[in-house]
Amino acid sequence: MVKDKDNIFEMQTECNFNIKSTKNHPFLTKKGMILLKDLEKNKEIAINTFKGVNYNQRIDRKKAILSKLFGYLLGDGYVNISKNKGYISFYGQKEDLEEIQKDLKGLGFNSNLISRERNHKINTKYGIKEFSAKNYELYNRSKEFAFLLKELGMQLGNKTNQKFLLPDWIMNGEIYVKRLFLAGFFGAELSSPSTHTKTGFYSPILSQNKNTKLKNNAREFLLQITKLLEEFGVKVNKISEDKELVNLRFRLIISAQEDNLLNLYQKIGYEYNKKRKRLADIACLYILKKKQIQKERSEIANKIKEYKMKGFKLKELYSNFSGKVNKRFIERHYYEKCNQRINLDFISFEEFKRLKLKEYEKYGCIFDTIKSIVKLNKQEKVYDFTVKDNHNFIANNFIVSNCGVRILSTSVSVKEFLKKREQLIEEVYKNVPSGLGSKGRIKVTKDLLMEVLKKGTKWAVESGYGIKEDIQRTEEYGCMPKADPSVISDTALKRGMPQLGSLGSGNHFLEVQQVDNIFDEKIAKAFGINKENVTVMIHCGSRGLGHQVASDYIKLMEDKFGFKDLADRELINAPINSDLGQKYYGAMSAAVNFAFANRQMIMHWVRDSFKNVFGDVKIDLIYDVAHNVAKMEKHKIDNKIKEVCLHRKGATRSFGPGNESLPEVYQKTGVPVLIPGSMGTSSYIMVGTKKAEEISFGSTAHGAGRIMSRHSALKQFRGETIKKELHERGIEVKSGSYAGLAEEAPGVYKDIESVIEVSHNVGLASKVAKVVPLCVIKG
């Protein structure tokens, strides 16, 4: 728990990254390192996080994916149309092709990944080079996709022997389109970051083969690439060409000047090539470290010259700069007019790369070293909830997607359920839309959505998706009172309209569970938990609408307050009582109401599914609670009751008996605390405590929490294997993709048992029942 009114700390790393926190030890690991860049950020197309270019455009996700795919196909792909059939092939490394496969799925196209041993022949100016290798290929046979690519301007068939220029939708497109096209193309064609000396980088090279007759076309195409690069501040040194046996080989040579490389790797980078992407991240960190040291040495050199002009003798300067530079450095800059260069003992890029690749393997990210932590003379009221080492950033931070959990009791026995488990899984999967970009079952107009955003669960029940008792068993009675749909953008509304009543993807799930153990019979009975019968747990949020609300207000706050002093642009904030702060609170509250209604509709269709399979069964809502939300609550602070804006990000309520915020049905027991584990592990139903209100603002952890990034999970786990292992343990899984299963493998989360024991033993919540999965439905 952070309860610190006066102490705000600013931390600076060796590469001049600044981060503000309410602790003097934020994000410290045992090695004294700070997380610099998490590869997970590249999973979503976070275009607006790059510096130096106006990326604040509305991003069409499908157009963004097409831009990447178009670029990669242009380099390492093949497209053709024959007899009204489409042939699209991508070539590359297995892990990269799996990422492409996932993006194709997001566009609605299936694909198959195969491997084969192939013999290769390459014509070079030295003769024919032959070799064999295991190659991976991702292929799609959709004529619709092939015709779409053709209409977008993609070459069909052999690219070497055809004219080609970039289409207008790229050359004159939005900046994110240009960046993603280049990054996809570079993932296939641009050379990897490497050095020719200890610290000096080679010029990145883009190579293209073209028939001799198409020389002028090839040069014009590379001129287009040069113009695109210039928009990102990336300079080209020159274009060269070499005659090979049949074709000409053209090389676009990019400047190796360090600021130019930073622009190239940070603003554009590589897509669909994780190896080069990692190397680019490492190269950027290396260059930044090198530049920082050179800056410090340059400042010392200038100081030496300044002291000399003031009449100080050489010997007098030795002790002044002792430990910072050696004597030879002092002498050179005292007597000579010489340029500043990096110190000889500075680590080589090859050694630095070796160390950082180990970090990637272990953590899925790279680290920078903390240089200093300084207390700032500021006063701010900060109430962030912290579990162990997971700290939320300071003051008024964003709550993005308003996720929550609800759990249902049923009259269906475990024995009866197991007999018809497969039938129920198919019925629920049919009735409850799930997966990336999934759409709801009903047609939602703007007027109807505005009502949903204002009324939440009440709208759903009034519309026939539930019963009145459901409202009584939902946090805030299913409606945030200060919701203001009028301050939500049209873009967010458009994203929300088709998604109302859908589960989504990622870590969202629907699970049928067996009660494995009851720790408190009295409370369990009050909650309606019966050890003989199955329960159902639903985890999802406000879908794309909630995400867009956060994106919109991040932009508005950036425009008003700026972000240059923030470690990450998404740490932007506004005072809660400001006009902008109040508008965001109203918009966020409306998104929470969307999430309440969304889970209510899903529960309604779960009830229908159970009745279709098991007949007239009873299914009751135990409770629905949010775990990513900010709320105005009254808490005792400095022996006074104060109303504060309490942020629960990765946390959930844990109010004890008698709290005025509780629904009447749980006034005597305390609030049900729902803590899901990972797919394939147990989850827990706990109850809130008075002690939690005293020591943690009535809060506890909301789940197991990840210990591995999705990037690392995809490297370590295979969805097919996960599904098989869970089946062998008696857990059936239905999912929209194997990649989704790999990302959510049980091994990527903390041990739920340890999390629960800490919460129980400290008094943040008390154990009531343990439930284990019988079947899981994932997006």
Find out whether 628 and 541 touch, Cβ atoms under 8 Å. Answer: yes
Q: How far is CA 613 from the centre of its chain?
A: 38
Residue 519 tokens, joined: 């720790």
Instruction: Report DSSP state, residue 45.
Output: T
- Chain-centroid distance of CA 377 in Å reads 33
Task: Dig out the tokens for 655 from the structure.
Answer: 């109010």
3-state DSSP helix/strand/coil % of the chain, to nearest 5: 40, 25, 35
321-333 in b/e form (b: 16+ CB < 10 A) is beeebeeebbebb
**Residue 140: exposure state from Cβ atoms within 10 A (0-12, 13-18, ≥19):** buried
564 C-beta neighbours (distance < 10 Å), count: 8
Tokens for 765?
A: 């919540």
CA 524 to chain centre: 37
Of 702, 711, 727, 760, the catalytic one is 702
Segment 430-433 long-range contacts (CB within 8 Å, at least 24 positions apart): 430/609, 431/605, 431/606, 431/608, 431/609, 432/502, 432/503, 432/510, 432/602, 432/605, 432/606, 432/609, 432/777, 433/501, 433/502, 433/503
Location of structure tokens 């998604």: 499
**Contacts (Cβ under 8 Å, ≥6 apart) of 623:** 406, 407, 473, 474, 475, 527, 666, 671, 672, 674
Terminal-to-terminal C-alpha distance of the chain: 34
Query: Which residue is associated with the tokens 């827990």?
Result: 684
> Rounded to a whole number, what is the largest CA-CA distance in the chain?
98
Q: Is 622 exposed, middle or buried (0-12, 13-18, 19+ CB in 10 A)?
A: buried
Burial 501-523 (b: 16+ CB within 10 A, else e): bbbbbbbbbbbbbbbeebbbeeb
Token pair of 701 as six digits: 């952890």
CA distance 606 to 277: 43
Distance between CA atoms of residues 601 and 465, nearest Å: 6
Is 702 catalytic? The answer is: yes
How far from the centroid of its chain's Cα atoms is residue 141's Cα?
A: 31
Write the DSSP symbol of residue 478.
G
What beta strand segments (E) does 311-378 contain?
365-377
Note the residue count of the chain. 779
Structure tokens at 452: 């949903």
Q: Do residues 258 and 290 lie in contact, with contact meaning Cβ atoms separated by under 8 Å?
A: yes
**Residue tagged 């090839």 (tokens):** 218
Dig out the tokens for 492 from the structure: 């967010």
Which residue carries 């996700």 as its tokens?
61
The order of strands in the sheet holding 112-124 is 77-82, 85-92, 127-140, 112-124
How many of the other CB atoms lie within 10 Å of CB of 627? 26
Residue 197 CA from chain centroid, whole number: 36
Where do runs of H (alpha helix) occur along 420-542? 421-431, 446-455, 457-462, 468-472, 490-496, 521-527
Side-chain half-sphere CA neighbours of 765 within 13 A: 30
CA 1 to chain centre: 25
How many other C-beta atoms are found inside a 10 Å radius of the C-beta of residue 292? 15
So which residues are the catalytic ones? 702
